[in-house]
């Protein structure tokens, strides 16, 4: 079915909004398009937290052409004072006569307030246009807003038989160059990367974003190390990066090692432990309190197992390379005790499968 005009311009607004990925936390991704006489006369998106909202940028580019125009925006305009004034007043001042909204504000304290304000001042408002796409775009913001915890993405790279490393621990490189570039794009969009101490000890990763031409943005690096076993010489503690590194450890970790990490500008926080290791639920709550909207878990199998067992993963990116590793001592994708019965398995929904170079990528959500 062909798209109507409202869907066409809303999709443009969504594409604009996506340009702000990784830059707007703790704010949502928002794009706006001003249309007059079936022509786009202004457009913009929220580029960075603390800077003008999408509506303001679109109105500014349109100038005087906003009179009697239509504004398309993927999220209900704000009607409250935050870092910036309410956008609803700017819409009235600009003379916009119709506003088409993708989804209402998910914040229960303000939901519908922007719509009601505009309608009470004579502006025609329609909402729910491409709502599913709008919800998906801001899935991390919605999770954070409603649960005060980050949206958790699990990324794993495995062989076709589900191994993430050989029996010797070798895992470089299971997937190809295009898949690895895709992962760097993911890093560029999330607020934090999380790995276990085992991954750092085996691979000595940097966990930075390397996209070339200084286009990448490094997220917060979060390392799980209950006993502070990672040596201070590890690359992750000696990076030239603007993003900080945080080590989550147990309450009884050696104080002397904590002090040396702090001296290297590494933040150290203590969390409780459980049968799976460090309590990831508690850690995610602490990350949420500091405004972290999204966390990308990159390994290893023990951390994957703990996150899945605790039902903490909101989205999966699972890469499968066209290789077979084999061996009972090779490292499986998901560690931990596992389940006794198939009925207790975590089922996935909304699966999308595509090729990234030579590898297969399965994108899915927990059911």
Backbone angles phi, psi at 319, to 5 degrees: -95, 135
Tell whether the torsion through CA atoms of 220, 166, 364 and 305 is positive or negative.
negative
Q: Decide: 248 and 224 in contact? Cβ < 8 Å.
A: yes
* Active-site annotation holds for 263: no
Q: Are strands 267-270 and 70-75 parallel, antiparallel or unpaired?
A: unpaired
Out of 55, 76, 189, 298, the active site residue is: 55
Positions of E strands within the chain: 31-36, 39-45, 70-75, 98-103, 124-127, 151-159, 163-165, 192-196, 220-224, 245-249, 267-270, 273-274, 277-278, 294-299, 315-321, 331-332, 348-356, 359-366
d(CA 294, CA 79): 26
Q: Decide: 296 and 307 in contact? Cβ < 8 Å.
A: no
Provide CB contacts within 8 A for 343, sequence distance 6+: none
Catalytic positions are 55
């Amino acid at each position: 079915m062909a798209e109507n005009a409202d869907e066409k311009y809303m999709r443009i607004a969504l594409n604009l909004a996506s340009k702000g990925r990784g830059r707007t936390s703790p704010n949502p991704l928002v794009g706006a398009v001003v249309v007059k006489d079936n022509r786009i006369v202004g457009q913009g998106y929220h580029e960075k937290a603390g800077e003008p909202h999408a509506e303001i940028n679109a109105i500014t580019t349109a100038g005087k052409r906003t009179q009697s125009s239509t504004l398309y925006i993927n999220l209900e305009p704000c009607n409250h004072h935050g870092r910036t004034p309410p956008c609803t007043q700017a819409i009235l001042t600009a003379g916009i006569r119709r506003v088409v909204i993708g989804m209402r504000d998910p914040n229960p304290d303000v939901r519908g307030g922007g719509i009601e304000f505009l309608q009470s001042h004579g502006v025609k408002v329609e909402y729910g246009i491409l709502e599913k796409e709008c919800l998906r775009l801001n899935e991390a913001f919605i999770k954070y807003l409603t649960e005060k915890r980050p949206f958790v993405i699990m990324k794993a790279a495995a062989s076709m038989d589900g191994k993430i490393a050989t029996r010797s621990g070798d895992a470089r490189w299971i997937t190809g160059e295009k898949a690895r570039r895709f992962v760097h794009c993911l890093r560029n969009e999330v607020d934090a990367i999380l790995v276990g101490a085992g991954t750092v000890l085996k691979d000595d990763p940097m966990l930075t974003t390397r996209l070339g031409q200084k286009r990448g943005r490094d997220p917060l690096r979060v390392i799980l190390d209950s006993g502070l076993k990672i040596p201070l010489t590890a690359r992750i503690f000696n990076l030239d990066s603007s993003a900080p590194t945080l080590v989550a450890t147990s309450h009884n970790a050696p104080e002397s090692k904590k002090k040396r990490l702090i001296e290297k500008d590494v933040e150290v926080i203590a969390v409780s432990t459980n049968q799976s290791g460090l309590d990831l639920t508690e850690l995610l709550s602490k990350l949420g309190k500091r405004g972290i909207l999204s966390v990308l878990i990159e390994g290893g199998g023990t951390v994957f197992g703990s996150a899945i067992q605790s039902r903490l993963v909101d989205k999966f990116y699972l890469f499968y390379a066209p290789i077979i590793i084999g061996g009972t001592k090779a490292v499986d994708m998901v560690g931990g005790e596992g389940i006794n019965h198939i009925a207790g398995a975590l089922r996935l929904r909304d699966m999308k499968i595509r090729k990234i170079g030579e590898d297969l990528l399965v994108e899915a959500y927990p059911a």
